[in-house]
Amino acid sequence: MVYLPPEILHEILSYTLLNTRKRSLPVAPLLTCSLFRDISSRIVYSNLRFTSRHQLSSFITTYRTLPVPHAPRSIDIDITNDSSNDDTVKDEDGRLSLETLRLCTHSHAFDPHIEMVYLSLSLVNPIRFIWTGPDPPHHFSIAIVPQAVEHLFRALSTYTNLTHLELTHLSSPPDTFPVIPSVRTVHLGQIVFLKPQTVADLVLHPAMEKLESVDLTDAYKGSIWGSRLRRSDIEVVVRNNDDRGSSNASREPEDEESPAARKLNVIRKVVVCKARTERIMGGDRVEENAILL
């Protein structure tokens, strides 16, 4: 009897399984013997491929509480030919209309295909968009790296149905946030290098008339070793901008009819800065769940 090294068996079974999975997964290799089953199982779970919503739903349901037999190295989702997609709603641009799109994942600074953030997110038009980090709340980490922010914001700027935006574990946003006229609520949590001017520009933008609240929780002007962003920081920026651009310098900002006063009223009505997660030591120390004025 001729014995083949496991490495060669792996190559043969990989070719058999991965080149036919677009049709259906061959069962024979899984039933031949325990060695074939173990190698085939590792191949299948390491390179997950879903071609229908039913497959995806079944996988999530099965492994909601159970560990996946082998750690996935790649996940391929292609449900374009799934007949069950006929009942989906699409907008005038052919994008999938969703009630909620929620991501709980890391992005990577050295991802050679980082542009896929935009390409994938531009295929949908959700009402609620949420991207949070997978780490527990007390573990401050960056899930949305600066390299991904540009592509994320580019996709968000195309959303016409979006009313709620929630982003956490975010680093180094650009100087401007995307203008999304339909948005009513914005929540930014555990975000670093957030400039007061960026928040002021977002809240006071003429196209953001529907904006009702901007919740900034554990938002830092620099790194987490520096100070959190406070609403007074944003108010200072508004006052300074008005002082430089006003043609009537004698008018006090406290005058309710002055442009600065009207802008400050909007900031105070819309923006709430909070401190929720405290460091074990160092950093900007405040009381838990404190409002930062």
Average pLDDT score over the chain = 80
Amino acid at 120: S
Q: What is the pLDDT of residues 78-115, one digit of tens each?
A: 776 666 655 677 777 778 888 899 988 888 888 888 89
DSSP string, 119-133: HHHTTEEEEEEEEE-
pLDDT at 189 over 80: yes
pLDDT (0 to 100) of residue 19:
66
Q: What is the pLDDT of residues 210-250, one digit of tens each?
A: 999 999 988 888 888 888 888 888 888 888 877 665 555 44
CA–CA gap between residue 144 and residue 261 (Å, rounded): 35
CA–CA gap between residue 104 and residue 143 (Å, rounded): 9
Residues 6+ apart with CB under 8 A from 214: 185, 186, 188, 199, 202, 203, 270, 271, 272
Top-confidence residue, 255 or 220: 220
CA–CA gap between residue 233 and residue 194 (Å, rounded): 11
CA–CA gap between residue 5 and residue 11 (Å, rounded): 10
The model carries a pTM of 0.71
- Mean pLDDT, residues 153-159: 93
> CA 189: distance to chain centroid?
11
CA–CA gap between residue 124 and residue 178 (Å, rounded): 17
pLDDT (0 to 100) of residue 250:
47
Strand partners, 118: none
Contact 201, 238 (CB under 8 A): no
Per-residue confidence at 156, pLDDT binned at 50, 70, 90? Answer: very high
pLDDT at 281 over 60: no
pLDDT (0 to 100) of residue 252:
55
pLDDT (0 to 100) of residue 1:
41
Top-confidence residue, 128 or 73: 128
Computed from CA positions of residues 130, 134, 138, 141, in that sequence, does the dihedral angle turn out positive or negative? negative
pLDDT (0 to 100) of residue 182:
94
Structure tokens at 188: 């930014």
Q: What is the pLDDT of residues 32-68, one digit of tens each?
A: 777 777 777 777 788 787 877 788 888 888 887 888 8
pLDDT (0 to 100) of residue 35:
74
- Residue written as tokens 């996946």? 68
Burial of 190: CB neighbours in 10 Å, binned 0-12, 13-18, 19+: buried
Computed from CA positions of residues 19, 25, 31, 33, in that sequence, does the dihedral angle turn out positive or negative? positive
pLDDT (0 to 100) of residue 48:
82
Strand partners, 94: none
Pairing mode of beta strands 290-291, 271-275: antiparallel
